[in-house]
Amino acid sequence: MKCTLYKIEMHTPLGKRTGQLLLIKDGTAVEGWLEVLSNRDPIHGTWNGNDICEFHGYINSLIRKIPFTALCQKKMDSVEIELTTEDNVFIVYGREILE
């Protein structure tokens, strides 16, 4: 099992939103959480074995709970994510936090 924590920036129509992403890789499964808009929500998905994973979850805003799916490309010490909701597609960039 491998745990990686990222500091992220999500680009939205209202500007950049910062947060964190924890990815826990266990074989082909991925679990963890996405922390953005002052909320930490669980994620679940799969790795395809080529530094690409797909995961899904919810973002809790002040107004509603927004379901999303995400396609994540892992690079050396960073990730690039295309996060898709029913209304929008957001680009998220993340850098690994070394502890």
Q: What is the pLDDT of residues 26-73, one digit of tens each?
A: 999 999 999 998 899 999 999 987 899 999 999 988 889 999 999 999
The HSE-up count of residue 51 (CA atoms within 13 Å, CB side) is 8
**CATH code of the domain in which 53 resides:** 2.40.128.120
Distance (Å, rounded) from C-alpha 86 to C-alpha 99? 35
DSSP 97: P
Q: In this prediction, what percent of the chain has a pLDDT beyond 90? A: 78
Distance (Å, rounded) from C-alpha 91 to C-alpha 84? 9
Quote the domain boundaries for residue 38.
Answer: 2-96
Q: What is the pLDDT of residue 83?
A: 97
Q: What is the pLDDT of residue 98?
A: 80
| Coil, strand or helix at 91 | strand
Q: What is the pLDDT of residue 4?
A: 94
Distance (Å, rounded) from C-alpha 44 to C-alpha 81? 15
Instruction: Please count the structural domains in the chain.
Output: 1
Q: What is the pLDDT of residue 99?
A: 62
